[in-house]
Structure 1
Amino acid sequence: MKHRIVRLTWLTVVLGLIAPPLLAERNLIPSLEGIPDVCSERPNEPDWMQNIALRDAYQRVLVQDIYRAQSIERVVETGSCDCATRFPTWDSAEVTFRENHADADRSGMLHASDTYNRRANEFRSQAQAICEAAGNW
């Protein structure tokens, strides 16, 4: 009898921990439209990035990391988080990639991605505060 009570109690605890998140997940149905919550008029990635071969995807990731770092730094530098500042065209990130990284091998690009991510993370909390105040986070 004692084992049944322990098992039942354990099962009740487990179900109590699992069931609420499962029920909450049902309410998180992703939208198929892909419309962002803020700044819905964002510029599209350049075509070459969207059509890049899977084996070269690290190049796309690097340009995305450059873009993110530049955007976050720009928000902090200007103190503004309007949509054009937070989500500018991809031109600057592409130029940075082509001038500084296009000839690098995969390992070099992965290292550069790490560097840009660190830069973005240094400014992230400041940018978040500015963007939250503007309603764009």
Structure 2
Amino acid sequence: MRQAGCTLVLTALVLGLTSAPGFAERNLVPTLERSFDVCPDRPAEPMWMQEIPLRQAYQRVLVQDIYRAQNLERIVEIGNCACEIRFPFWDAAEAEFHEQHASDERWKMLEASDAYNRRANDVRLEAKAICETAGNW
């Protein structure tokens, strides 16, 4: 009788463990749509950036780095972290990319990305404090 009880427990355990991942997987539905807790109505990246071939992804990253640096610096300069200031349209970042970097070689764009990241990081803590006060961090 004791062996039968152990067999039942082991069978239940094995069935429970093997069926759990299937159950969990059914609840995970991937989506390509992005949702944000803070400033959910952010403007989408320009279509040309989304369509950049993988081998030139560094161009997209550079525009994203320009955008981040510009926006964090603007927050600190103005002292305001409204959603339209933290996440404006991409026009200014696009313009800066096209005017200053679009014809650069890859290595030069990577150097520029580093420079924009340093600029953003220099003001990040100050911008974060302003945005936390506004509830937008």
TM-score in terms of structure 1 length: 0.77
Does 2:134 align with 1:131? no
User: Identity across aligned pairs (percent)?
Assistant: 62
- Partner Cα distance (1:79, 1:38) in 2: 18
> Equivalents in 2 of 1:84, 1:98: separation in Å?
23
Equivalent residues, number: 110
Aligned partners of 2:29 and 2:59: how far apart in 1? Answer: 28
Q: How does 1:1-137 map to 2 (within 5 A)?
A: 32=31, 33-137=33-137
Report the residue type matching 2:108 in the other structure: G
Cα deviation for residue 37 of structure 1 reads 1.1
Determine the C-alpha separation between the residues in 2 that align with 1:84 and 1:30.
31
- Residues of 2 paired with 1:50 and 1:36: CA distance? 19
1:133 CA drift (Å): 0.2
> Which ranges in structure 1 are unaligned for 5 or more consecutive residues?
1-25
Partner of 2:5: none
State the distance in 1 between where 2:29 and 2:106 align: 33
SS in 1 for 2:52: coil
Report the CA distance shift for 1:106/1:81 in structure 2 as closer, same or farther (over 3 A).
same
- Over the aligned positions, Cα root-mean-square deviation in angstroms equals 1.6
In the alignment, the residues of structure 1 paired with residue 75 and residue 29 of structure 2 have an alpha-carbon distance, to the nearest angstrom, of 29
Deviations 1:13-53 (A, max 9, x none): xxxxxxxxxxxxx9xx8974421110000000000000110
Describe the superposition over 1:68-105 as per-residue Cα deviations: whole angstroms up to 9, x where unpaired.
Answer: 00000000000000000000000000000000001100
Map of 1:18 onto structure 2: none
TM-superposition CA deviations, 1:93-119 (whole Å, max 9, x none): 000000000110000000000000000
